[in-house]
Amino acid sequence: MTDWATWHTAYDDPSSLLSVRLRIVQAHLSAALSQAPAGKISLVSLCAGQGRDVIGVLPSHPRREDVRAVLVEADPRNVAAARRAATDGGLSQVEVREADAGPVAGYADALPADVLLLCGIFGNVSGSDIRRTVAAVPALCNPGATVIWTRHRRAPDLTVQIRHWFTEAGLMEVAFDAVEVNTMIGVGVARAGRGVGGALPDGPLFTFGSARHRCGPS
């Protein structure tokens, strides 16, 4: 079993693959917040870990006061770390919930999102769970919402298929970053169109840890 709190120590090494991925995700998140229409921004991050994606961006971002963020994480140690980081950053608008992010009911009140983070999930769930999650994205988002996702690119590389599933679900691809020096990192950005909404799924989007092969960034 992976110790998900210890797993985060790789972020302390600026040269680690996790740190490289984090910087890419943070850059896309910063851009998404800057480009969001004037007014409040609803941000939801699933399987948020220690919240480094969000908490590493918000303190110095010009739109920080517009953001209401809900971070969903199951590991109580990571939840505690994320809450400390949010407090230290003066981010009272960041709520960290200790919950399984698979069932939507645990964060349905924070939806629809203007920014949705699905980082560190797709490498740790089955292919069918990925497809189910992507198909549900339109129900989780507002029109024009930005979705940021990650998935390793080890064989079999599913990122091409995942990108197709997002398009199939009615989202437009904004960017896809594949770090060519190492096939382990893939970061995608998609934007929801007008055809969003619909009923939230009754069952869980995914069961975390259901992928057969895991190591490194996911």
pLDDT digits (tens, 9 = 90+) for 110-125: 999 999 999 999 999 9
Point out the least confidently predicted range of 36-40, 75-79, 169-173, 192-196: 192-196
Confidence bin at 194 (pLDDT 50/70/90)? confident
Q: Give the pLDDT score at 9.
A: 83
Point out the least confidently predicted range of 4-8, 16-20, 62-66: 4-8
Phi then psi for residue 12, to 5 deg, are -75, -15
Task: Report the C-alpha gap between 70 and 216 in whole angstroms.
Answer: 26
- Fold type of domain 18-192: Rossmann fold (3.40.50)
Question: Is the pTM value of this prediction over 0.85?
Answer: yes
Q: Give the pLDDT score at 183.
A: 61
Concatenate the DSSP letters of all residues of 1-66 into one string: ---HHHHGGGGGSTTSHHHHHHHHHHHHHHHHHHHSPSS-EEEEEET-TT-HHHHTTGGG-TTGGG
Task: Enter the DSSP assignment of 111.
Answer: P
**Cβ atoms 4, 78 nearer than 8 A:** yes
Please give the residue that has the higher pLDDT: either 150 or 14.
Answer: 150
Q: Give the pLDDT score at 77.
A: 95
Point out the least confidently predicted range of 8-22, 37-51, 152-166: 8-22
Residue 213 in this model has a pLDDT that exceeds 70: no
Domain ranges of the chain: 18-192
| Crossing angle of the two packed helices 159-168 and 127-140, in degrees rounded to 10 | 30
Task: Report the C-alpha gap between 162 and 152 in whole angstroms.
Answer: 11
Please give the residue that has the higher pLDDT: either 201 or 128.
Answer: 128
Q: Amino acid identity of 201? A: P
Task: Report the C-alpha gap between 201 and 183 in whole angstroms.
Answer: 33
